[in-house]
Amino acid sequence: MPPRGGSGARTAPPNPSGGAVATPGVRPAPVSPPSTRSLLTLGVEEEFLLVDARTFELAAKAATVLADADDGSGTMHMEATRFQVESASPIARTADEMHGQLLRLRRGFTEAAAARGCRLVASGTPVLRRLDEPVLADEPRRHVQRARFGEMTDTFVDCGCHVHVGTLDLDEAVRAADHLRPWLPTLIALGANSPFKDGADTGHASWRTVAGSVWPCSGIPPRMRTPERYLESLETLISTGTIMDAKMVYWDARPSMTWPTLEIRAPDVAMSVEEAVLQAVLARALVKASLRAHEQGLPVPAVRDEVLAPARWRAARDGLEGQALDPRTAELVPAHALLDDLVVHLDDELREAGDLDYVDATLARLRRDGCGAHRQRKVFEERGRFTDVVRYLADVTEARER
């Protein structure tokens, strides 16, 4: 069963302490095996843009492309807007397995898009867009969101890579999220793939991260501490009208509403399958390390929110090619150095899962070629046209260019 954060109705979960908690839109907290098990599972959701194959502007053909591509397996879905489709992989246990699944799903969308005169594009923001078209999909939920949140819904055009790590009960998901918070900006820098928006350079490597910060439940998640406190926070947010339901919690990491997983939502959609798999195995290792730290009685890292917020922004601005704010020391360091620290921090977990060689090889290519944002800008500098940037993105997304 693929991990999903879709639009179906949710039921209130049982309170981990025994009583019922009437919080709509939150998944049940299933009993799972101990977190010391050898391997956690993976699932990846990828959001894509559709562009016209001739003009390379956004194409409002998501419904027809999805209808052509959907094979009934539950792995292909509509997103919030008329320009997007989403894949949700089946559960995987190895990097190779996940790579094959993501490649298959991208090819399915690529073929369906081509039949409708479109290309599939993995970019965190649209490089080119016709601004006179309606944005949201024609669905009841989207009409309600537009009425309540207005122009904020324009940020829904942006695309992310969401990694589900399981199987976790709600207590494990909350504990893991608290421990891994300091590393979320590094995942943003690694996955930065949205320097352009609507025919202009934003001055940031991940404009999606910045634009999405307008939502009240975005950014680094607060320390949740216990499942009870997490559920109480959701109930307050919903009852005050801050969000419609738990699906509108857009934190960079959150317990999934539907599946027994922790969902890491920090990075932009990856330009290549290899980078998406890299995000997945790093996320799994982070969750594993966090659970292990909790079991060993280690305290949650003492990082201040007033440092995490600018660290997140700095990651969004610089990507991998600039400076990063180290949340542990509140000092600027090269982004690559902080990424190296992350890999060292996760050495045991990556070795245990058999992922260390994959991580080393993929990071070596990124150190050579740059993150997605750097590569997009390089194409624009060399060719001078945004249409060439979108063509390049489509070629890499569709595995026609490495």
**Taking the domains of the chain in order of start, what are their residue ranges?**
130-370
Q: What is the pTM of this model?
A: 0.90
Confidence (pLDDT) at 133: 73
* Domain 130-370 listed as CATH 2.40.30.260: no
- The answer to whether the beta carbons of residues 372 and 192 sit under 8 Å apart is yes
Q: For residue 402, what pLDDT band results from cuts at 50, 70 and 90?
A: low
Q: List, for residues 31-58, the tens digit of each pLDDT value.
A: 334 444 568 999 999 999 999 999 999 9
Average pLDDT rounded to a whole number, residues 104-112: 98
The mean-pLDDT minimum among 32-36, 125-129, 154-158, 184-188 falls in: 32-36
State phi, psi for 283 to the nearest 5 degrees.
-60, -45
Confidence (pLDDT) at 237: 93
Tokens for 176, please give them.
């893991």
Confidence (pLDDT) at 232: 94
Strands (E), 304-385: 323-326, 331-334
> Has residue 151 got a pLDDT over 90?
no
State phi, psi for 120 to the nearest 5 degrees.
-95, 130
Confidence (pLDDT) at 5: 34
Q: List, for residues 347-371, the tens digit of each pLDDT value.
A: 999 999 999 999 999 999 999 999 9
Confidence (pLDDT) at 283: 98
> Has residue 17 got a pLDDT over 50?
no
Q: For residue 138, what pLDDT band results from cuts at 50, 70 and 90?
A: confident
Q: For residue 221, what pLDDT band results from cuts at 50, 70 and 90?
A: very high
Confidence (pLDDT) at 258: 86
Average pLDDT rounded to a whole number, residues 307-314: 97
> Has residue 8 got a pLDDT over 90?
no
The pLDDT mean for the chain works out to 90
Nearest to 102 by CA among 41, 18, 45: 45
Confidence (pLDDT) at 37: 53
Q: For residue 23, what pLDDT band results from cuts at 50, 70 and 90?
A: very low
Confidence (pLDDT) at 39: 83
Confidence (pLDDT) at 131: 62
Burial (CB count within 10 angstroms: exposed 0-12, middle 13-18, buried 19+), residue 228: middle
Average pLDDT rounded to a whole number, residues 94-98: 97
What is the H or E stretch that residue 103 is in? helix 95-115
Q: For residue 130, what pLDDT band results from cuts at 50, 70 and 90?
A: low
Confidence (pLDDT) at 234: 93
